[in-house]
Amino acid sequence: MTKSQIKESIDRLRENINRHNYLYYVKSSPEITDFEFDQLLKELEDLENKNPEFASPLSPTKRVGNDILSSFEQGDHKFPMLSLGNTYSEEDLNEFFDRTEKTIETTPNYTCELKFDGVAISITYENGNLTKAITRGDGNRGDIVTDNIKTIKSIPLTLMGNDYPESFEIRGEVLMPFSSFETINEERIQEGNDPFANPRNAASGTLKMLDPKVVAHRKLDCMLYYMASDSVSEITHFEAMTNARTYGFKVPDTMRLCKTREEIKEFISYWDKERENLPYAIDGVVIKVNNFDLQKQLGFTSKTPRWAISYKFKAEQELTKLNDITYQVGRTGAITPVANLEPVQLAGTIVKRASLHNADQIAIHDIRINDMVYVEKGGEIIPKVVGVDKTKRENSSEPLQYITTCPECNTELIRIEGEAKHFCPNETGCPPQIKGRIKHFISRKAMNIDGIGEETVELLFDKKYIKDITDLYSLNADDIKVLDGMGDKSAEQLITGVEESKKMPFASVLFALGIRYVGETVAKKLARGVKNIDSLIAMNKEELIEIDEIGEKIAESIIDFFADETKKQMTLKLKEIGLKMELEEEELNNSDVLKGLTFVITGTFEKYSREELQLLIEKYGGKKTSSISKKTSYLLAGKNVGPAKMQKVEKLGINIISENEFLNMIE
């Protein structure tokens, strides 16, 4: 390769890696496996090492992935949260041992721990009380998610005993067990939402939600694996984590102290098979030098500790024939290609269909019909095609021509700049989109209509009883009771459920409309900000952005929604039918009492839980944050407030109010 070609390859790799880094850490929707990502990164590292003239401080090889979101306040890590180096082979593992032992001139003991497939978190304790929790972020600074972390029951709010360090951070992985994952995905499908791809994505998405009550409902778990402090008295990592268990932390009992390489390899081999029986996902084993002094001697690179490495398992793969590719149309018009496979046993289940993600992924792997393809389960759950055995390809094979028109309504597809998927723009005439919007409208967190499920929506639409959302309100029990599986009782229950939905609050109606990017939480903010639907329809972009948590992307989506005359008239018809299109009297009269005030809640309370107090703050127009700053208006303090928080409040001169004083403010 010429120098010019090498530079082109480096630039292309950086662009590709940055994109996948963003999808993984920010969007929580990876399109490639960890192994494929690591191979891309390794290829880039090799090129940069051999061609130092093309080095750049902005290269993805010089940074840790970033998951910082603007919806959370950020905080600094006292001790950087670096990523681990990865290896997939015994040869690479031996190189790690050789390099380590050569540097420290001895053979150390190592700890072996399971590498949990979740979201990294650092939790700070002061005087035995949980004070702050921060995501990894960019390694030096992350999102403060303290209130969400406090909903995880396996994380102690107050420590046991009294021999713990006065101040320390403990690191771990927030997980979603398989049982919770399956339940959440069932709920999302029933509500008309796309299911999470795997438990790691579900945990990541949950931890970044703004409503701690929803986080609590999803039953996350957390495994702790490292203590960071200036005052840890133990001399080994194994001893420190053993003691951490006595403080009340959930430290995995699978951790082992190994004295030889053979013991480490036996541990890896055992868990490579036994992981199928665990209640949560793991993707490898972490090996650490046990002694803290030796860890300090080994030190760090710019982004990884030299005293630790992760051995990552390869996901179970099977080779099978790709018989055909079909295309699914989602509620938003997004097109998803699906591989129809020769049935194959994979990770304990028979797999017949697998995701192909989008046109780019098909092109990257050059996937063709009748190919022999490698299939694996992403996060051990969702099947996906990850490669092709081109040695078995038929000579007559031709590259796949991705569809250009919608498979349901034959409308020409479009591709929006910055989007990975193709879309069908025929929102009002494409059956899957219409049915998807109706299914979203009736879902529990939207209009919560009892007596009607997805199958009933399909039946009513196919039999031409409904053609859009508004038709639900003109259904007649006598007409629909003759439908298959309906009957008198079911028909009456459906009509009652539709009528009862008129009592749902304005925020639920906004969510139910299906405006892109307007989820449940945004809908609540929007309802409080606009007060009624007529104001919302009339607002311009600048006015919308002034509303709390409404950014440009959401504002533009709202404007586009009501600029569509069909959607605007549908909304006005729903108002005419009797759906609540404005805040109720109580909400309207009281919503601005706390406007412009910011609260931090701490301690335990008698009359309300902390989650209920947060809802009251938001209901009356205030804002609740997790950390104290100069912008904090009040510290709403209950019992058992940590001394560190009180000192900071006093230093900044912030007003402290009790639960009763707060209630007097809103009364």
> Any idea which residues carry the catalytic annotation?
115
Contacts of 302 (CB under 8 A, 6+ apart): 62
Following DSSP, what letter does each residue of 141-201 receive, concatenated? EEEB-HHHHTT-TTS-SB-SSS-S-SEEEEEEEEE--HHHHHHHHHHHHHTTPPPPSSHHH
Find how far residue 51's CA is from the centre of its chain: 37
Give the angle 198-199-204 at the CA atoms, nearest 5°: 105
Contacts of 347 (CB under 8 A, 6+ apart): 276, 316, 377, 380
The SS3 assignment for 15 reads: helix
Residue 346, both tokens: 């994979």
Compute the distance between CA of residue 114 and CA of residue 134 in angstroms, rounded to an integer.
22
Helix (H) or strand (E) segment spanning residue 346: strand 335-346
| Per-residue 3-state assignment (H helix, E strand, C coil) for 198-228 | CHHHHHHHHHCCCCHHHHHHCCCEEEEEEEE
Compute the distance between CA of residue 406 and CA of residue 327 in angstroms, rounded to an integer.
9
Find how far residue 483's CA is from the centre of its chain: 40
Compute the distance between CA of residue 115 and CA of residue 123 in angstroms, rounded to an integer.
18
Helix (H) or strand (E) segment spanning residue 433: helix 431-442
Alpha-carbon torsion (645, 651, 655, 656), positive or negative: positive
Compute the distance between CA of residue 595 and CA of residue 592 in angstroms, rounded to an integer.
5
Residue 130, both tokens: 């949980």
Largest CA distance in the chain: 86
